[in-house]
Amino acid sequence: MPPRYWKVGDLAKRTGLTVRTLHHYDAIGLLCPSGRTGSSHGAGHRLYTASDVARLQQIMSLKSLGFSLEQVRDYLARGDFDPREIVRLHQEWVHRQANDLKRLADRLSALADALDRADVVSADTFLTMISEMTMIEKYYTPEQLEQLQARKDQVGEERIQEVEAAWPRLMAAVQAELDAGTDPADPKIQEYARQWIGLINEFTGGNPGIAGSLKTMYQNEDHIHSMDVAAMRPMFEYIGKAATAAGLRMPGA
């Protein structure tokens, strides 16, 4: 059987992705068509091969697990990369997501029954429902939520309280230096950046997917847990510059 090839438009149609997305993956070196047109195809076209399609599936699975495109590229370039592991991880994620959606469906069914009976539904019930839906639909995958819970159990309540108390102190110190116009390359600010990264890693356990989801949430939401995130963004940019000056990489970057 002769090898199969796909032009970018054909691959986009078959996968549901856009041509623009595939071109972007090519431009950043994530998925470059490895075939070339011969005389039977007409000159001037690059073609995707079956191995390219397999790599695309791996890319999409890792994206579903919360990896950024840069993290996907790094993961696929690892010497110990095993495509079977990606399939297993994605399969586990799908099962967990299905279980979470089933739990939400059960909650909705119970709520519908209560409303049909004209029962009084407490605000706490509605708040729990909203929280369930928000967690499923925004930012964190079910697998990431499970990992965060495991991380919480591992760290312990005492350390969690210590970290929660450390954040306001650190942010106040960073904001004061920002207001004073201190150069982010100052050693003191670079030390603050190290502490900042350390606290993030306390939360994420060093998981790049969770760190990426956390970063996305803080980029997209103006208010989180009564915090005015929009007003804090100059401070985030400032500490990022300090990390760069110290040769550090911010989690999720």
- pTM score, whole prediction: 0.47
Is 90 exceeded by the pLDDT of residue 180? yes
pLDDT band (50, 70, 90) for residue 39: very low
Share of the chain above pLDDT 90, in %: 25
Q: What is the CA radius of gyration of the chain?
A: 23
Taking residue 141's Cβ as centre, other Cβ atoms within 10 Å add up to 20
Are the C-beta atoms of residues 242 and 184 closer than 8 Å to each other? yes
Q: Cβ distance 203 to 163 under 8 Å?
A: yes
Per-residue confidence at 4, pLDDT binned at 50, 70, 90?
A: confident
Between residues 179 and 219, which one has the greater pLDDT?
Answer: 179
Q: 129 or 156: whose pLDDT is higher?
A: 156
Structure confidence by residue, pLDDT tens digits, 49-75 = 888 999 999 898 888 777 788 888 888
- What is the pLDDT, as a whole number, of residue 243? 92
- Give the model's confidence band at 190: pLDDT under 50 very low, under 70 low, under 90 confident, else very high: very high
Q: Tell me the domain boundaries of the chain.
A: 8-76, 83-137, 156-245
The arithmetic mean of pLDDT across residues 160-187, rounded, is: 89
Domain range 8-76, its CATH number among 1.10.1660.10, 3.20.20.70, 1.20.210.10, 3.40.190.10:
1.10.1660.10
